[in-house]
Structure 1
Amino acid sequence: MKYLNSDNPMLVSGSAASVFDPDLAKLPAVASQLDFARHQAEVPVHVHRKGQLIVSLRGAVTCTADDRIWIVPPDCGVWIPGGVRHSARATGNARLIYLFVEPGAARLPEDCCTLSISPMIREMVYRLAREGADYLPDSHAARLARVVLDELVEMPRERFSLPISNNSKIRAIADALTLEPSDRSTMGEWAKRVAMSERSLARLMIRDTGLTFGRWRQKLQLVVALRELASGATVQNVAAELGYDSVNAFITMFKKALGSTPAQYFAQRRATMVQSQEARSATH
């Protein structure tokens, strides 16, 4: 089956990108559910006319778009406007919902971002995914789609991304560290691998990402850690995957970066979303 709107026209079996072409539907919004146990876990670079919201029901996914790596944590979704080239990598247990939005159908952001997703929106998108891409304009599904878009516009942005720039050398380091986050090579060692001097790599990092190499690598590890923790991995396993000598060392890094331990962080996010939903319900 052919990748839809992919840069690579070769035939690939089992790709999640080959399930259906959202651009064939002219409806304001259509949704599709994907279980990555049945598909390849990596979706290559592709582009489509419609904007796309990626929401995780189970497991976790990271996306590369707009020169950044984006994570889809619990109760959030990554919004990718139409026309933006992107790829995705999901954990093997991932179960995702894609919401495709026709350009101009809603006042959604013009750039990539992570949006908070209320339980109500998640359930409505899940319901819309069962309607397919051919519902009638005056149907219940059409009204449901309109409510989903209206609610999405009100959702606040979150900050779950890592700058990687369009520089091939930084992308190569990001790809390698994403696949092997426990790699503790120094900046000098990475500079040799990408055929640069250490000083040149340091300047390139600051210029293209706004971060030193050490801060940038720590943010990448946080992205990986959040993805794996969201997929159900234990703190012990994540600490080991990232190359930490002890669980306490990993928790200390996590708390210093995000202000709470992993357990506290996810508990606070769940509580915040419940409170937000209750507050919104009270005003309607």
Structure 2
Amino acid sequence: MLQPSTTGQIINPDLPVVSIALDIEREQGAPHTHPRAQLLYSIQGVMRVVTSLGTWLVPSTQAVWIPSMIEHQVIANEAIALRTIYVDPAWTDGLPNDCCAIAVSELLRALILRAVKIGNSYPPEGPERRLMGVILDELRQMKRAPLHLPMPKHARVRKVIDALIAHPEDSRTIEAWSAVVGSSPRTLSRLFLKQTGMSFGAWRRRLRLMEAIDRLGKGESVTQVAFELGYQSTSAFSAMFRSELGVSPKCYSLQESAA
């Protein structure tokens, strides 16, 4: 189990923002807390963030805001590249006091990468300190991501979702999955609804939608994404996308590029 960084333990108002770059293979971080609030962000790969208040599946177009002293852990089922920042308690006014997923703008992404290059020993006056102030301004304007993917704890349901996270294109029915996990279709369906608040089909659609947003953000074509996620046609994929977000995948990509 990967041990947490000590960066979040630094208390120094003269360093309003500190950062860390960490490349992780398939690992599970130990649950931990720290006095600094954290924007947990991966520039590559999808991570699972487990907190005492909820669980998020986070693509590289999103990040998770974690207030001070909220227990959390990171689970990587694939290689991820963390570029995360921590905010000193003296500078958290105006920032969320609950865990939430946020959409990462191109500006915020660039600021995070710049903060990582600057490091954590910048002077209290100068351009480096001013850039940290810009980061705080940007964080205060961050928009909550519209999507949240509930992550259940029940062993049978987790077996299904872990397989789907690894292969979101898998189109097996609830009947097929129930045979895999040793349950009846009715029981597995009931567990999905109880554990996630969503039906099996709705949960898988949400997973595919979040995967699609991540891949479209990386420049993949609508057609490529549709077939890689198990859809038989781009029209079926576009219909799903529009029903969830109210816009077509092409329009969504254009909006994100212009943001």
- In the superposition, the TM-score normalised over structure 2's length comes to 0.80
* Correspondences of 1:111-150 after superposition (within 5 Å): 111-138=98-125, 140-150=127-137
The 1:101–1:88 alpha-carbon spacing in structure 2 relative to 1, beyond 3 Å, is: farther
Partner of 1:205: 192
Equivalent of 1:28 in 12, 16, 24: 16
Work out whether residues 8 and 38 of structure 2, in 8 Å CA contact, stay in contact via their aligned partners in 1. no
- 215-224 or 237-246: bigger deviation: 237-246
* Correspondences of 1:1-284 after superposition (within 5 Å): 3-5=2-4, 21-26=6-11, 27-33=15-21, 39-46=23-30, 47-49=32-34, 50-55=36-41, 59-66=44-51, 67-72=54-59, 74=61, 76-82=62-68, 83-89=70-76, 97-103=83-89, 105-107=91-93, 108-138=95-125, 140-271=127-258, 273=259
Work out whether residues 73 and 226 of structure 1, in 8 Å CA contact, stay in contact via their aligned partners in 2. no
The 1:40–1:150 alpha-carbon spacing in structure 2 relative to 1, beyond 3 Å, is: closer
Give the letter for the 1:64 counterpart.
V
Give the Å deviation of 1:99. 1.1
The 1:98–1:139 alpha-carbon spacing in structure 2 relative to 1, beyond 3 Å, is: same
Root mean square deviation of aligned Cα: 3.0
Give the letter for the 1:80 counterpart.
I
> Structure 2 unaligned runs (5+)?
none
Structure 1 Cα separation of the partners of residues 184 and 97 of structure 2: 37
- 205-214 or 151-160: bigger deviation: 151-160
The 1:3–1:91 alpha-carbon spacing in structure 2 relative to 1, beyond 3 Å, is: closer
| Local SS of the residue matching 2:97 | coil
> Structure 1 unaligned runs (5+)?
6-19, 274-284
Structure 1 Cα separation of the partners of residues 33 and 208 of structure 2: 30
| Local SS of the residue matching 1:157 | coil
Structure 2 Cα separation of the partners of residues 68 and 146 of structure 1: 29
In the TM superposition, what whole-angstrom CA distance separates every residue of 1:195-239 from its partner, at most 9, and x where no partner exists?
333222222222221111111111111122222222333333322
Give the Å deviation of 1:120. 4.1
Work out whether residues 37 and 86 of structure 2, in 8 Å CA contact, stay in contact via their aligned partners in 1. yes
Give the letter for the 2:88 counterpart.
E
Identity across matched positions, percent: 32
| Local SS of the residue matching 2:164 | helix
Give the letter for the 2:98 counterpart.
D
Give the Å deviation of 1:42. 3.6
- In the superposition, the TM-score normalised over structure 1's length comes to 0.73
Structure 2 Cα separation of the partners of residues 32 and 142 of structure 1: 17
Work out whether residues 59 and 211 of structure 2, in 8 Å CA contact, stay in contact via their aligned partners in 1. no
| Local SS of the residue matching 2:230 | coil
In the TM superposition, what whole-angstrom CA distance separates every residue of 1:94-145 from its partner, at most 9, and x where no partner exists?
7653112234631432333222444444333332222212234455434432
Work out whether residues 164 and 170 of structure 1, in 8 Å CA contact, stay in contact via their aligned partners in 2. no
Work out whether residues 202 and 213 of structure 1, in 8 Å CA contact, stay in contact via their aligned partners in 2. yes
